[in-house]
Amino acid sequence: MTPISAPELAHWLADRQRPRPLLLDVREPWEQQVCRIEGSEPVPMRSLPDHLDALDPAQPVVCICHHGRRSAHVALYLVRQGFADVYNLTGGVDAWAREVDSRMALY
Task: Characterize 51-71 residue by residue with b for buried, 16 or more Cβ atoms within 10 angstroms of its Cβ, and e for exposed.
Answer: eeeebeeeebbbbbbbebebb
Nearest Cα neighbor of 41 from 56, 97, 85, 16 is 56
Query: Does 35 participate in catalysis according to the annotation?
Result: no
The catalytically annotated residue of 24, 63, 65, 95 is 65
Q: Known catalytic residues?
A: 65
